[in-house]
Amino acid sequence: MPRTELSHATMFGTAHALPPHTFIMFGATGDLARRKLFPALFALYQNGQLPAQFAVMGTARTPYTLPAFRADVRAALESFARCPVDADAWADFAEHLFYCPVDVRSPEDFSRLREAVTDIERRFDLPEQRVFYLAMAPELFADVVIQLQGCGLTAARGWRRLIIEKPFGRDLASAERLNDQLQQVFEEAEIYRIDHYLGKEMVQNIEVLRFANSIFEPVWDNRSIQNVQITSSETVGVEERAGYYDQAGALRDMVQNHMLQMVMMVAMEPPSRLKTEAIRDEKVKVLRSLRRLSGAEVASHVVRGQYASGQIAGQAVPGYCSEPGVPADSRTETFVAARLWIDNFRWAGVPFYIRTGKRMAAKVTEIVIQFKELPRMYFNQTGQLLPNRLVIHVHPEEGISIQVNAKRPGTDGAVVPVAMEFGQAPDNSPEAYERLLYDGIRGDSTFFTRWDEVSLAWKFVDPIAESFRMNRVPLALYPAGSWGPAASDQLLAADDARWWPLTGQAPAIPEQVHQAGHPLD
């Protein structure tokens, strides 16, 4: 059943209670469910955003009893919930939790699941409005969907929605196969491909920053902007994900989804209206304009690296090939930097530099908009004249800063960079999964990825992945705790540019002026 389009403007207003529904979570005993999904659902409940009529049916292969399952969820909330767990709120929330063990390849188990779901819907007078969340290995997505159809759970008289995690395929061909399988059961409007970066406060705020402020949109183009830099770095290694990560690497794990999503949010044209499909249409236009690299061009525009041993926060850490579960001769990249070009009227000639990596010096996600420099005919004698920059702090800080040049107090007339900053405490912001679950349940797919976004992203990434596989791009080692291989700096130096310091690096701004009324937390 097609979804009624919701106004995206409500995202920036008061959140309202969601419609009655049954939330069926596959992989309910997994790490994602414990760390993110149950804490997000409980936060929605504490905030009064879940309706009085709802049920959460957890499923996994583990043969839990209901009391054991509820106890496990309580333990997860104690460890990972954003706010303290109120005992009374937990007692009420727990009454909405249920569990049914399911082997995803067993039709008999799915028949039992259907009986359990329909029984709960009858007992709690719930309409047949169902959300299916697949928090499990992607190779099982199609099996689950086919079994859901076979047992009749998808034949709901109300609406139905399928929310699935990344990765959506490992290349264009596998993504097309998976999409074809899913669309045998669900319509495109019912499929919600989640990318948690799109749930982050400041990523969503890019729209407002651009389209609600007349000081930005007139200069948001190639006449005023020199380059755009997007960084998403992590201090952790592969941890327990070696089996997946060694097959995916940073290119598939981060660039194909998270990094390109941020590129789209920065580069999109103003939508005709703040409606879901109008916004997504503009994002897709960015990918259609993204210059695709041939195999021969990849080495000139892309850097790949792998972390060697080093130190993180003063502690020695091993190199990637010494991590448990990683082959000693692995050539999987843990770092990617790239120079992208968007060949349209607004962005022609403006390089977009992206970089992402593991075991780097700090965990930070930031977007730097560097404006063009003015002629130095007046201020090149004294002081330090730097280009204006707008920095969007996505994580761990949330906010924006604008660097301008001003005269230093005194009589020497020196020009110095100063920063006006706005920051907000991340602890006061809903976690990304809270926003995305809220949107998915209510039927707003604005910040979920549409199939044409997925397919176009793979069309851009696949030639790069093939060049990596054929070793056409050197694999540069970088010490853990650094900001990546030297080739990443050389990529920008070839354009007479450099990576600007980020949160966690030595500041490039010697003096800061806080915006009145908005001190940094």
Task: Please give the positions annotated as active site.
Answer: 258
Q: Which is nearest to 82 in space by CA: 426, 436, 447?
A: 426
- Tell how far CA 495 is from the center of its chain: 29
Residue 20 tokens, joined:
């009655």
173 CB neighbour count, 10 Å cutoff: 11
Q: Interior CA angle at 186 toward 163 and 167, to 5°?
A: 40
36 CB neighbour count, 10 Å cutoff: 20
Residue 57 tokens, joined:
């049916």
CB 451 within 8 A of CB 169: no
- CA–CA separation, 353 and 355 (whole Å): 7
Q: How many CA atoms lie within 13 A of 148 on its CB side?
A: 28
371 CB neighbour count, 10 Å cutoff: 17
451 CB neighbour count, 10 Å cutoff: 17
- CA–CA separation, 192 and 133 (whole Å): 9
Helices (H), 268-353: 276-289, 295-301
Residue 128 tokens, joined:
């047949």
Task: Say if strands 389-395 and 364-371 run parallel, antiparallel, or are unpaired.
Answer: antiparallel
The amino acid occupying position 437 is L
* 459: enclosing H helix or E strand: helix 451-469
Residue 286 tokens, joined:
């960015």
CB 26 within 8 A of CB 164: no
Cβ neighbours of residue 324 closer than 8 Å, sequence gap 6 or more: 242
- CA–CA separation, 358 and 242 (whole Å): 13
Distances in Å between the Cα of 399 and the Cα atoms of 215, 267, 344, 403 are 17, 19, 29, 14
Residue 184 tokens, joined:
């045998």
Q: What is the CA radius of gyration of the chain?
A: 24
